[in-house]
């Protein structure tokens, strides 16, 4: 089962999606670890939770930046296609 999941994950051609999956996985793992640590030491668990939230913030910023980059590249591609059509006429 794990082999199938990893094989399907490797088949994803979009590296950005793979990176985002890793960010989400690390965030969830960080929250779980923070919860377990807080059972033993509340202040240390809170610090771990803050680190996990920092990672989530980095993930959110990464999503916004990639959305802006993909939007810009789509706009550039469309403008280049329009110029190519005008030159053909």
Residue 68 lies in a domain: yes
* Mean per-residue pLDDT pooled into runs of 10, the chain (89 residues): 80 78 89 94 94 91 88 70 64
Q: How far is CA 67 from the centre of its chain?
A: 11
Residues of the chain above pLDDT 70, percent: 82
Residue 5 lies in a domain: no
Prediction pTM value: 0.66
Q: What CA–CA distance (Å, rounded) separates 38 from 19? A: 28
Domain count within the chain: 1
Q: Quick one: angle between helices 15-40 and 42-88, nearest 10?
A: 170
Residue 7 lies in a domain: no
């Amino acid at each position: 089962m794990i082999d199938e999941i990893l094989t399907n994950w490797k088949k994803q051609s979009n590296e950005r999606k793979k990176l985002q999956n890793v960010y989400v996985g690390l965030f969830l793992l960080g929250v779980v670890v923070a919860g377990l640590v807080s059972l033993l030491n509340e202040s240390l668990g809170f610090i771990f939770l803050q680190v996990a939230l920092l990672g989530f913030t980095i993930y959110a910023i990464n999503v916004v930046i990639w959305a802006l980059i993909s939007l810009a590249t789509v706009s550039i591609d469309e403008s280049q296609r329009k110029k190519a059509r005008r030159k053909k006429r």
